[in-house]
Every structure is written in structure tokens, then in C-alpha cells.
Amino acid sequence: MNFLEEKILTDGVIKPNNILKVDSFLNHQIEIDIIRQIAYEFKRRFRGVEVNRVLTIEASGIAIATLLGDLYDVPVVFAKKSETANSTDDKYMSQAYSFTHKRMNNVFISHPYLRPGEKVLIIDDFLADGQAVHALIDLVHQAGGEVAGIGIAIEKGQQRGGLELRQEGYHLESIAIIDNMDWHTQTIHFRPQPQQKLENTPIKAQ
């Protein structure tokens, strides 16, 4: 089991309707040691991949993206969400249905913050049906950029997002993949992953 799977088992709370709450370290309070380990693990898994920018979506991806942007020494940008369509004059705009809030969000990025030709690493806290990530991919393509990879902290493997993105040929890395979870018994089963050797991952920057 890797550090994030262990953390989810210790601190995660399973809610009805297939929702995992990780407010104590990722979605409300930010436990910086865990976020730092997530960032180092993405850096390790995307070794050899050229990255010019890290992209996420507000709000919970921002902490991870920030530490990762620091490791790559590249700009970090987060797509903003709004319920109503604003002027699209100087913005790339896409749409994503929110799994947790059960509503459609417009997501946008102002033109200067995504540039043609950039290799963009997309980061998010959760992957469920893939709506948020597909909106981010759309924004990168609108700007004439390239998706260098997709890094997800927690993938809910029983939903279709991960399967679709892998079938579409994206380099997707999810640190913890939940195959199933049970609200009644509060049990979670993770998908075994080939690379579980994390001893070299520094816990704190020196």
C-alpha cells in the first residue's frame, strides 16, 4: 500500500452516493506533508516528460499543482468555475458537470495563461466521470497546447473517467485508485498498481 492509500484508510470518510471525504488533508484542511509527497510522486511518475505548465481546476487541485509547479519550476494556472456564461472574449471556455455539486459549471482560463505549443501537465484531486479533466483537456487544445500528462491523486476506478482517458491514449497517473468502497462497512479496496516502490520519495524538501 502506498502513502496515499494508507492516508485514505486512516483519515478518509465514505459518504453515501459513492463520495469519499478527505477534508482533513486535501479538500478543506491541507496537510502539507501529504501534498508534498503527492507532488514528488507525480514528478517521479512523469520522469522524462517535458512540462511547461501545470494546470488544475479550482479549488482542491491548487495545492498539489502549486507544489508540483515549484518542483518543475514552471507556471501554475487553475481554471476558474462559474455557473453563468460570461463574455468569452478573452477566455478559453469549456463546460464540466460537477459530480459533487450536481450542476453544470462553465470553466475558463484567460488567454494569457495558456499558450500555443505549451506542454501542459493536468492535475486534479479526484477523477470520477472525467468531466473536469475533459474540460481542462479541451481548454489546452483550444489554446493550441499539448497535454503532457494527467496526474490524479485519487481515482474512483468504478467510474468511467479513468477508463476513457486511458482509451483516449492519455498518460494518466493516479496515485490511489479505488476499485470499490462501501459506505455501510466503511471499507475501501484499492486497485493494485505496478509501481509501489516509494522509499525514495522524500517526505520533506531538504
Residues making contact with ligand 5GP (CB under 6 A): 19-22, 27, 60, 96, 99-100, 124-132, 156, 161
Q: How far is the CB of 60 from ligand 5GP (least distance, A)?
A: 6
Q: How far is the CB of 166 from ligand 5GP (least distance, A)?
A: 14
Q: How far is CA 203 from CA 18, 39, 61, 187, in A?
A: 30, 10, 19, 27
- Residue of 85, 51, 40 lying closest to 204 (CA atoms): 40
Comparing CB distances to ligand 5GP, the nearer of 129 and 146 is 129
- The H or E element containing residue 66 is helix 61-72
Distance separating alpha carbons of residues 62 and 32, to the nearest angstrom: 12
Strand-pair category, 91-98 with 76-82: unpaired
Are the C-beta atoms of 8 and 156 separated by less than 8 Å? no
Comparing CB distances to ligand 5GP, the nearer of 21 and 111 is 21
Residue 72: phi and psi, rounded to 5, are -85, -15
Comparing CB distances to ligand 5GP, the nearer of 39 and 133 is 133
Strand-pair category, 146-156 with 76-82: unpaired
Comparing CB distances to ligand 5GP, the nearer of 51 and 79 is 79
Q: How far is the CB of 21 from ligand 5GP (least distance, A)?
A: 6
Comparing CB distances to ligand 5GP, the nearer of 22 and 147 is 22
Q: How far is the CB of 116 from ligand 5GP (least distance, A)?
A: 26
Q: How far is the CB of 143 from ligand 5GP (least distance, A)?
A: 20
